[in-house]
Amino acid sequence: MNDSSGAIEPFLAHLCGGEITAKDYVGYFLNEHGEELVFAQRRGEKTARLWHSDADWEMFRIGDHSIRVGEKMDGMITVNDLIIDRAEATWLSSCLAASRHLRPGRT
């Protein structure tokens, strides 16, 4: 077994242009249209960071209650001002749940 620990973080940081280190819980998603999403949660930070290639890799700060359904349009799923589809929302929800223990006041 070779030691490639930390190999994904520099790749994802380069991909989205964000600061991602081995201290982050990270997630990557490729949707059916070839658009890429990157998730990073740093221990001790109240919010996670989300980048989406279709939003020109703009960073969005997100938390446990950031995913909204139908707030702007009936049935539309959003995270802050970013429109996402059901598969992206499912992946993002899983990332938030898996990294919840890293946010302050969470267990």
29, 96, 20, 44: CA torsion to nearest 10? 180
78 compared with 58, residue with greater pLDDT: 58
Sign of CA dihedral 61, 19, 58, 100: negative
Report how far residue 60's alpha carbon sits from residue 58's, in angstroms, rounded to the nearest whole number.
Answer: 7
**CA distances (Å), origin 52, targets 2, 79, 96:** 31, 11, 16
> What is the residue-averaged pLDDT of the chain?
88
List the 48-52 sheet strands across, edge first.
24-30, 36-42, 48-52, 59-62
Interval 57-78 mean pLDDT: 83
Confidence of residue 105 (pLDDT cuts 50, 70, 90): confident
- pTM of this prediction? 0.86
